[in-house]
Amino acid sequence: MDKKGAIIKIFGKVQGVGFRYYTQQKASELDVNGFVQNRPDGSVYIEAEGTEENLDAFILWCNEGPAWARVTKVQIQRTPPFGYEKFSIK
């Protein structure tokens, strides 16, 4: 299966709301690999890869995030796959 990659930057109230934990759960559910990390500017940074369908579903979820998050902006940069074996929290 053809894997696609994406760099996803999420802005808003996305730290201190379990965003990374729920992102990892959603990635696992959708068979998406990569990592998620908080950035010093208050944003969340994700490198993700999976089939186009799964990646699109994952990106769609990132626009909402977990219940307590308030996502105000999402930047997506499509990339070739990175070669990750799993999804981790950094």
Q: Does the annotation count 78 as an active-site position?
A: no
Q: Does the annotation count 54 as an active-site position?
A: no
Backbone dihedral angles phi then psi of residue 85, each to the nearest 5 degrees: -95, -25
Query: Distance between CA atoms of 77 and 72, rounded to whole angstroms?
Result: 17
Helix %, strand %, coil % of the chain (to 5): 25, 40, 35
Catalytic residue positions, numbered:
20, 38
